[in-house]
Amino acid sequence: MGLQLYNSLSRRKEEFKPLQEGRVGMYVCGPTVYGHAHLGHAKSYVSFDVLVRYLRYLGYTTTYIQNITDVGHLTDDADEGEDKIAREAAKERKHPMAIAEYYTRSFFEDMDQLNCVRPDISPRASGHIIEQIELVRELIEKGYAYEVNGSVYFDVVKFKDYGKLSGRNIEEMVAGARIEPSPDKKNPVDFALWKKAEPNHIMQWPSPWGAGYPGWHLECSVMAMKYLGKTIDIHGGGLENQFPHHECEIAQSEAANGVPFVVTWLHNNMVTVDGQKMGKSLNNFITLKQAFVGEHERLKQAYEPLAVRQLVLNSHYRSPLDFSDAALFAANSGHQKITEAVKAVRKQIKTAAAGELDADVARQLETFKARFEEAMNDDLNTSVALSVLFDLVRLTNRLIESGTTRATLSAIDDLFTKLGGDVLGIVKNDYAEAAGGNDEAVGKLVGVLIDQRASARKAKDFAAADAIRNSLDEAGIALEDKPEGTQWRWK
């Protein structure tokens, strides 16, 4: 059985079949860049990163598009809402584009840390204003949109499929509307395609309807179409974007093109902190930068970026992830265990005896690979895929203890690299013995102390030996006495 994905549109798992043999076009809603990325971004982008990686592992040539929203959208859908980027710009006394640029760089930095592959294209909304205006014009021409006072709205009742993704119907929504309907709209559920800009609005562009800026659903439709075509294989995003954002994307795109916009819709679930939804407006979010340095009242220590990644992969992308320091700590310990095993294999390969690949081990590796693929094929069950990796860790450590051939160790390393590295992204290709220029000097100094301690131990002066070990421990360095000698590592 091939890859099965849960399609939010059909509400069931479907066999994945790309429109074009061997090629996949995938679009994922990117961040609005007015603040540093947080744990929620990590869950979303790590989840889709693993999908991209797995598609490539399966041999699909995959084009991955993830937009950058650098045109501020309104803080609410009522007309008096504020532009988020503009608000941040005013606060920091900078140009809105400077804010967008700054947080775009910050975002890429964090995603790199999480070992997410860069999208093939990271299109900016501000760079596609012309295309957006074109789409609005087309929608007006086709009778799906209307202009009022310099703003253009999508006429929702004209698009009969509206609600098919989120399972809503227009009548109920009209009846249950909570916000004051804008007097300009024909219908309260209509949404803005183009907004008239007030004179003091910095981010504005000329258009056939006067100076203004695009509505917040428009960019994704336009950029997905431009780079991937009128119908795309996969569109991903956070669950909270299913409505209204994705529903509106469908309406705009399908009204304009007359063909299905997306074959497979994928939605990842949310991150909660202590059982509470984490959101930018709730002020309870933990940024990735805070997690990486451990500076947050809910964090007891700094955590490796890949530990955060592993925490995300420990549960399913469609399940909510309730964040806690304890959960991160556990993921971190587990990640260290995997890392240590990989390092140990690679180290022993250098000194292992030549010889045939152990047939029994080869068989087990085949089984692991099959179990891994079976799990990933089942709507990306990364939790089970991870468990296979832990089985591989146990096998590895046993073999390292008993000793085996270089070919066998290479086969193990290869599997770690493919499954843990290429697909899950939690195993690195290279582990520097000690990172950074200073560490070489540290290594020498620690080496001197290790020698002194060895002499003390030889002389059975364990008090002196332990004193050295304790001082190093306080400096954050752990010593491990192995058969081949004493090793040190940062704690």
Report the site for RNA in 398-457 (rule: CB under 7 A).
398, 400-401, 457
Q: Which of 364, 397, 410, 417 binds RNA (CB under 7 A)?
A: 397
**How far lies 167's CA from each of 8, 10, 175, 254, 469, in Å?**
10, 10, 16, 17, 63
Quick check: 410 and 349 in contact, CB under 8 A? yes
Q: Which of 148, 170, 202, 327 binds RNA (CB under 7 A)?
A: 327
Q: Which of 52, 114, 232, 271 binds RNA (CB under 7 A)?
A: 271
With respect to RNA, which residue has the nearer C-beta, 96 or 334? 334
**179: its two tokens:** 């916000």
Which amino acid is present at 1? M
The closest alpha carbon to 324, from 313, 311, 337, belongs to 311
From 93-101, 123-131, 144-152, 397-405, give the range in contact with RNA by CB under 7 A: 397-405
**213: its two tokens:** 């800026």
Eight-state DSSP code of residue 179: S
Cβ of residue 170: shortest distance to RNA, in angstroms?
11
Q: Which of 204, 316, 345, 420 binds RNA (CB under 7 A)?
A: 316
> Mask: binding to RNA, 178-197, rule CB under 7 A, as x and -?
xx------------------
340 near RNA (CB under 7 A): yes
Quick check: 144 and 186 in contact, CB under 8 A? no
330 near RNA (CB under 7 A): yes
Tell me how far apart the alpha carbons of residues 427 and 412 are, in angstroms, rounded to a whole number.
Answer: 13
Q: Which of 46, 165, 173, 345 binds RNA (CB under 7 A)?
A: 173
143 near RNA (CB under 7 A): no
Q: Which of 195, 245, 305, 488 binds RNA (CB under 7 A)?
A: 245
Run of H or E residues at 306: helix 305-314
Calculate ∠ Cα 229-231-233, nearest 5°. Answer: 105
311 near RNA (CB under 7 A): yes
29 near RNA (CB under 7 A): yes
Q: Which of 106, 151, 221, 241 binds RNA (CB under 7 A)?
A: 241
10 near RNA (CB under 7 A): no
What residues form DSSP beta bridges with 240? none
Cβ of residue 51: shortest distance to RNA, in angstroms?
13
With respect to RNA, which residue has the nearer C-beta, 184 or 481? 481
From 34-42, 108-116, 432-440, 442-450, give the range in contact with RNA by CB under 7 A: 34-42
Q: Which of 127, 167, 355, 443 binds RNA (CB under 7 A)?
A: 167
* Residue located via tokens 């004209």: 158
Tell me how far apart the alpha carbons of residues 207 and 10 are, in angstroms, rounded to a whole number.
Answer: 38
Q: Which of 279, 357, 364, 406 binds RNA (CB under 7 A)?
A: 279
Over its C-alpha atoms, the chain yields an Rg (Å, rounded) of 27
List binders of RNA among 373-392 (CB under 7 A). 378, 381, 383-384, 386-387, 390-391
The closest alpha carbon to 419, from 368, 378, 379, 377, belongs to 368
Tell me how far apart the alpha carbons of residues 253 and 261 are, in angstroms, rounded to a whole number.
Answer: 6
With respect to RNA, which residue has the nearer C-beta, 179 or 302? 179
319 near RNA (CB under 7 A): yes
280 near RNA (CB under 7 A): yes
Quick check: 394 and 344 in contact, CB under 8 A? no
Tell me how far apart the alpha carbons of residues 146 and 162 are, in angstroms, rounded to a whole number.
Answer: 17
With respect to RNA, which residue has the nearer C-beta, 241 or 253? 241
18 near RNA (CB under 7 A): no
Cβ of residue 48: shortest distance to RNA, in angstroms?
9
Dihedral of the alpha carbons of 7, 10, 11, 16, in degrees to the nearest 10: -30
Length of the chain: 491
List binders of RNA among 98-137 (CB under 7 A). none
